[in-house]
Structure 1
């Protein structure tokens, strides 16, 4: 007899929650039990789309259900912790959108709750499932460029993101929102989770003038125990005429080689009488009506971990290290000097 599908609850019905729900609905090993969001109308619409029986503005209703085994936390950055801790304490497996938390104390609270409960948990660093990034990791790990010594990562958004897409932009920064992916990837490529020092600078003014109190852009240099150095750039004031929502680039320089990952156009260009654009196709494409791409693969990976009782690709200890680097970047911004990670 076939095993019952993994019951999944999605908390948050925004852009990411919508994609997560679609990925669950597309996985034959999983079943979307319910969606929670505030206001509840978004949860109702998303649940109805995928024929999930529960839509609520009280996520704790989903945590008490015996048919929910996995909880996906797709809320704004600063709202992950309480939900993740409550889900772990309810004995549910967890997939938490990046970053795990926006300070180390909260990251430690989540990790402690997961360890006490003994549940499966992973941060959704979905870029690891983009084929070119996974291929880069394999080549670097095989020694194709020698020992990595230098990295540069840029992830810059159009101003649409902090001014229109996010209602909570002033509760985060471009580094928390964007560089978290890049810090995960660069640490993964370097094979080094021992960042020791960072120095960061930022610029403000464009968003402040619109009443959104958050930096326009941040650059940070991070030194690792191995001696490698990485620079992380995040900006979200590109003009909305820029042809892609996100300008994304990573370079890793080794002792005798280099890897470039330019994901600006995802190989697709579209020109019409009114615009020229590069649609995003790597992370959350809907292919023939089915949610696909790196995010769906990450969701499927965690579903598989629940089914097979295996460890996720991204350990929570690594997610904590990403938070520690971001915490140090923001302490450096505040102090104006270099700080220890």
Structure 2
């Protein structure tokens, strides 16, 4: 048995040679920070098998596959799509590269889990949705913040009517400058809004329920990252008006100094007719002081508990594995994912044009 391979537990599938292979077979496309995290979660889930990993070049894929006992490491994701023992494909590539891989995976009959955002244009989102509908496969965008306990509790409180109908929201997600200059080699191919606000827009729309975003006005700040050769905005602020008259403001920034004690400053507030929900994740309930630094480690999304991946990402991936195994519907629908892309497309159109923009229905 390969290193870290799992015993035969789970839902049976069909192997590449036609034999029965246990568990939901999973392929991960992308072996960066998120791809490696997804692979670790899959390898730790007894209902699943990590069949293979793809990256360009394949150096990172080989390391991730070796670490988790996957059979295949490749620089061609189509090699994984052709395998009959792959049931689920996780697309964990840079934001702007999701669409062709997701479309081909769906048309190959594979369930797909796509890292957020679903796509970086409405046309691309519609291509993915059309492929999923044509093939009848299960698909979900990994808006993993829905599995952070505080956000899930906030949703339950709002649905129960505890704060009344939501009338206003403010959400910020601001990163240290390390993220666009050191962590992401492809930062110039996206923006802080696509990369960060996608999570917050999904959350606020989830909290607002059936209320529909109708108009966006957004502005961007540039200069710091441009000066460092990363051609993307430093920060974007967007105000979104909803059909009911409610408004939400979304802030994303990529130029916090690297001395800031947490990699991401994250805050969401929803004001209702007679109450408020206030969610501050800056410290995640942990502070660590050493002779060299003071920090708030992030533990909500991808902690490792007693050697096992845990947190919101593990919950989201496990949810998707369960949907593939049992045939249930994903918590995040593609219609909701399309809504996030539509709002973000309007945000960037407003930034470019300098005025309000209607959100595509």
TM interval, shorter chain, is over 0.9
Could you list the per-position Cα deviations for residues 278-300 of structure 1 after superposition, in whole angstroms to 9, with x for gaps in the alignment? Answer: 00000001112111110010000
Is the partner of 2:239 in helix, strand or coil? strand
Which residue of structure 2 aligns with residue 157 of structure 1? 175
**For residues 351 and 10 of structure 2, what CA distance do their matches in structure 1 show?**
54
**For residues 307 and 328 of structure 1, what CA distance do their matches in structure 2 show?**
37
Which residue of structure 2 aligns with residue 41 of structure 1? 59
1:269 equivalent to 2:269? Answer no
**For residues 295 and 10 of structure 2, what CA distance do their matches in structure 1 show?**
45
Could you list the per-position Cα deviations for residues 223-261 of structure 1 after superposition, in whole angstroms to 9, with x for gaps in the alignment? Answer: 011211000000010000000000000000000000000
Which residue of structure 2 aligns with residue 137 of structure 1? 155
The structure showing larger relative contact order (alpha-carbon pairs under 8 Å, at least 6 residues apart) is 1
**TM-score w.r.t. length of structure 1:** 0.99
**TM-score w.r.t. length of structure 2:** 0.94
Contact 1:38 1:57 in 2 (8 A): yes
Aligned residues: 341
Q: Identify which of 228, 235, 240 aligns with 2:253.
A: 235
**For residues 304 and 213 of structure 1, what CA distance do their matches in structure 2 show?**
40
Query: How much has 1:193 moved relative to structure 2?
Result: 5.4
Contact 1:285 1:293 in 2 (8 A): yes
**For residues 245 and 211 of structure 2, what CA distance do their matches in structure 1 show?**
12
**For residues 81 and 316 of structure 1, what CA distance do their matches in structure 2 show?**
13
Structure 2 runs not aligned, ≥5 long: 1-8, 13-22
Q: Identify which of 217, 220, 245 aligns with 2:235.
A: 217
Which residue of structure 1 aligns with residue 46 of structure 2? 28
**For residues 3 and 148 of structure 1, what CA distance do their matches in structure 2 show?**
42
> Once structures 1 and 2 are overlaid, which stretch shifts more, 21-30 or 185-194?
185-194
1:3 equivalent to 2:25? Answer no
Structure 1 runs not aligned, ≥5 long: none
> Once structures 1 and 2 are overlaid, which stretch shifts more, 278-287 or 188-197?
188-197
Contact 1:220 1:329 in 2 (8 A): yes
Query: How much has 1:2 moved relative to structure 2?
Result: 5.9
Which residue of structure 1 aligns with residue 5 of structure 2? none
Which residue of structure 1 aligns with residue 325 of structure 2? 307
Contact 1:149 1:253 in 2 (8 A): yes
CA RMSD in angstroms, aligned pairs only: 0.9
**For residues 41 and 18 of structure 1, what CA distance do their matches in structure 2 show?**
12
Q: Identify which of 121, 143, 147 aligns with 2:139.
A: 121
Query: How much has 1:192 moved relative to structure 2?
Result: 3.3
**For residues 140 and 213 of structure 1, what CA distance do their matches in structure 2 show?**
39
1:181 equivalent to 2:189? Answer no
Which residue of structure 1 aligns with residue 104 of structure 2? 86
Q: Identify which of 175, 180, 197 aligns with 2:215.
A: 197
Is the partner of 1:207 in helix, strand or coil? helix
